[in-house]
Structure formats: structure tokens, C-alpha cells
């Protein structure tokens, strides 16, 4: 094969994504205590969201580095993308609704599209009206429709408060009223306690555009691990919702997200390791050096979008 033919073929197979998603876990703090929680990071220091100038600078630098036209970004050797979405996650980001609102606005002004993933417990009507107009996707994590199961998983507030599905349905309706193009996404972590449940009625009530089913990933803890057959049975039980389903088994979750921790470091959940790998803080060394220190598996990243997954936010 000539050099020209080889180049032509590699150009043809080059994936083109609609958007690259950067997941920033803005805080480790959470009002829930899920036993499988992945939101624990090494290191000490003040979380970056409380430093307003450093946050603004990091967002500007991320935008320049991940901008679709920045040919210097190493991911550009393997794929193209048309836009960049900043997804805010936690911990529970809505413990800081004012900062969330300011960051969403700043990110949109820079050029990002924006999304948020929350456990839903602090999504009051007032907060919803404040943030929904700035979002393209609102994600809510929801593992069970059963109070005892939610309690056993640890999905309850410090005084035992549980998420009321009817209240969640009302705020989702309010969010849709505030932003008619808003996409609603639900995330469910399948674990040893909810793996036999049927969530179909709950899903029909909340009517999300996407439902991401994640298999409990034993990075921080092995607690609540689910067997292959129980996970597959859970997916099969909900297969009739196939048009909104997005399923992630453990291998698909490893090294395939772009993730920043609360201290402003890229991190990855490398296969076979019991803790995360971290870069230096982006505000200290810039996104280029920080990203080079950790990286991402571009093939898995693309598979999320181009296969059945199509979504690379946490
Ligand atoms: S809601 Fe999310 S961040 Fe909070 S404890 Fe549960 S898994 Fe962790």
C-alpha cells in the first residue's frame, strides 16, 4: 500500500464526535453516604471551586486546550469533535448552588455547553429555576424506587431524608418548562442491593431522554459488588426501554472518561489499581502538561459515542 493510500484510509476511519465531555468533580462533599461511592480523592487542600479567579483561569485554559480547532491537543491525532461540554459532578455539586450557577454561566460564556449530575436531593424548585436555563443536560442519580434499599445503599441525608420520586418528577417538569431543549438523564449504579429491582415504572414516570446503567465499579471499595449474571439480568429486565438505555460494564468505565478532581487535577481509574492516578493541578502546570501526565484511552472514549454508549459524562 502506498503512503497516500494509507493516509487516505486513516482519514476515512477518523471518528468525529459531536462533543467532547470534560467531567469536573467540583467537590468531594456529599449529603449522602453511598457505600460504593467513587467520589473519594487523595490529597489535601482547598477545593478549587472556592477560588473564583483560579476556577475562571482553569476554565479558560481548558477551553483553549480542548477547543475543537486546537491541533496541538494529542486527542486530535485520533478523533475530531465539534464542541466541548463541561459536566459538573461531585460529591454533590448542589451543596454549592451559587458557585454551580456562576461556573455554569462562566463556562457558557467561554464557549462550553454545560451539564450537571446530582443526587437530586437538593434540587429544589428555586435551584432548578436558577440552573436549568444554563444546562443542556441535567443528570440525576437514582438507584432504587424502594426506601429500604435506598437506606441500605446509603442514599439518605444526614437526618434520614430520602428522595421523594413525586417531588423529583415535579422539579424535572419545572426544569423542562424553564428550558425546552433540556435533556434529562438518569444514572443508576447496579449493585448487590438493587440488582433484582424493576425500575420500569419509575423510568416511565420520569421519562428521561437517556438512562445510563452503570455496573458498580470496585475502585475504592468492593462493597456491594454485583455478579455478572445479576448485572446482565438487570439489563435484560429493562431491555424494553432500549431506546433510552446506555449500559456500561466495568471494562467500559476504565480509562475512558476525561475527569478532573476537586483539587483541579486530571485523574483516571486505571484497570487493576485500587486508587486513582492523578496529574499535577491544572492551575499549577496548565492543561497540556497535566493531561500528558494522565491521559485517556482514546479508543474507549470514542466507543462511548460511536457505539451504543454515545455519552461520556459521568
Ligand atoms: S450521591 Fe454520589 S457522591 Fe454522594 S455518596 Fe452517593 S455516590 Fe457518592
Q: Is 260 in the pocket of ligand 1 (CB under 6 A)?
A: no
Q: Is 199 in the pocket of ligand 1 (CB under 6 A)?
A: no
For 176-198, the pLDDT digits (tens) are: 999 999 999 999 999 999 999 99
- Is a pLDDT exceeding 80 seen at residue 313? no
Q: Percentage of the chain surpassing pLDDT 70?
A: 87
pLDDT at residue 106, as a whole number = 97
- Strand partners of residue 198: none
Contact 184, 174 (CB under 8 A): no
Q: Which three cell numbers stand for residue 72?
A: 496541538
3-state secondary structure of 131: helix
Of 55, 23, 58, give the one whose Cα is nearest residue 39: 23
Q: What CA–CA distance (Å, rounded) separates 41 from 283?
A: 18
Which residue has the CA at smallest separation from atom 8 of ligand 1? 37
Q: Which three cell numbers stand for residue 100?
A: 454551580
Q: Which three cell numbers stand for residue 156?
A: 439518605
Confidence of residue 270 (pLDDT cuts 50, 70, 90): low
Chain-centroid distance of CA 265 in Å reads 16
- Is a pLDDT exceeding 50 seen at residue 9? no
Of 151, 22, 155, give the one whose Cα is nearest residue 87: 22
User: Which domains, and CATH codes, for the chain?
Assistant: 16-306 (3.20.20.70)
Mutation pick for ligand 1 pocket among 90, 95, 190, 253 (CB with most ligand atoms within 8 Å): 90
Which residue has the CA at smallest separation from atom 7 of ligand 1? 37
- Is a pLDDT exceeding 50 seen at residue 308? no
For 123-153, the pLDDT digits (tens) are: 999 999 999 999 999 999 999 999 999 999 9
For 31-89, the pLDDT digits (tens) are: 999 999 989 999 999 999 999 999 999 999 999 999 999 999 988 888 899 999 999 99
**Average pLDDT value for the chain:** 90
- Distance (angstroms) between ligand 1 centre and the Cα of 16 equals 33
For 101-129, the pLDDT digits (tens) are: 999 999 999 999 999 999 999 999 999 99
Q: What CA–CA distance (Å, rounded) separates 115 from 19?
A: 12
Q: Is 26 left (phi over 0), alpha (psi -120 to 50) or beta?
A: alpha
Confidence of residue 228 (pLDDT cuts 50, 70, 90): very high
Q: Is 26 in the pocket of ligand 1 (CB under 6 A)?
A: no
Q: What CA–CA distance (Å, rounded) separates 277 from 151?
A: 31
pLDDT at residue 38, as a whole number = 87
Confidence of residue 252 (pLDDT cuts 50, 70, 90): low
DSSP 240: G
Which residue has the CA at smallest separation from atom 6 of ligand 1? 34
Amino acid at each position: 500500500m502506498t503512503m497516500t493510500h494509507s493516509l487516505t484510509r486513516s482519514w476515512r476511519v477518523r471518528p468525529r464526535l459531536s462533543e467532547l465531555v470534560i467531567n469536573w468533580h467540583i467537590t468531594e462533599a456529599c449529603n449522602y453516604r453511598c457505600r460504593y461511592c467513587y467520589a473519594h480523592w487523595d490529597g489535601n487542600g482547598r477545593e478549587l471551586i472556592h477560588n473564583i479567579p483560579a476556577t475562571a483561569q482553569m476554565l479558560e485554559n481548558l477551553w483553549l486546550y480542548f477547543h475543537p480547532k486546537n491541533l496541538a491537543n494529542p486527542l486530535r491525532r485520533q478523533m475530531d469533535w465539534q464542541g466541548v461540554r463541561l459536566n459538573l459532578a461531585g460529591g454533590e455539586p448542589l451543596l454549592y448552588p451559587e458557585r454551580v450557577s456562576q461556573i455554569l454561566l462562566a463556562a457558557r460564556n467561554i464557549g462550553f455547553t454545560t451539564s450537571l449530575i446530582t443526587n437530586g436531593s437538593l434540587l429544589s424548585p428555586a435551584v432548578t429555576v436558577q440552573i436549568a436555563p444554563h444546562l443542556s443536560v441535567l443528570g440525576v442519580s437514582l438507584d432504587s424506587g424502594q426506601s429500604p434499599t435506598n437506606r441500605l445503599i446509603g442514599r439518605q441525608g444526614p437526618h434520614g431524608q430520602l428522595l421523594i420520586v413525586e417531588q423529583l418528577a415535579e422539579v424535572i417538569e419545572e426544569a423542562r418548562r424553564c428550558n425546552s431543549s433540556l435533556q434529562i438523564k438518569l444514572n443508576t449504579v447496579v449493585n448487590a442491593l438493587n440488582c433484582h429491582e424493576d425500575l420500569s415504572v419509575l423510568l416511565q414516570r420520569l421519562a428521561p431522554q437517556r438512562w445510563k446503567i452503570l455496573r458498580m465499579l470496585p475502585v475504592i471499595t468492593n462493597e456491594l459488588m454485583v455478579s455478572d449474571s445479576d448485572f446482565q439480568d438487570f439489563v435484560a429486565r429493562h431491555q424494553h426501554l432500549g431506546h433510552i438505555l446506555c449500559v456500561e460494564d466495568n471494562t467500559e468505565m476504565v480509562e475512558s472518561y476525561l475527569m478532573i478532581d476537586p483539587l483541579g487535577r486530571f485523574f483516571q481509574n486505571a484497570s487493576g489499581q485500587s486508587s486513582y492516578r492523578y496529574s499535577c493541578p491544572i492551575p499549577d502546570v496548565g492543561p497540556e502538561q497535566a493531561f500528558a501526565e494522565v491521559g485517556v484511552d482514546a479508543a474507549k472514549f470514542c466507543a462511548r459515542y460511536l457505539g451504543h454508549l454515545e455519552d461520556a459524562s459521568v
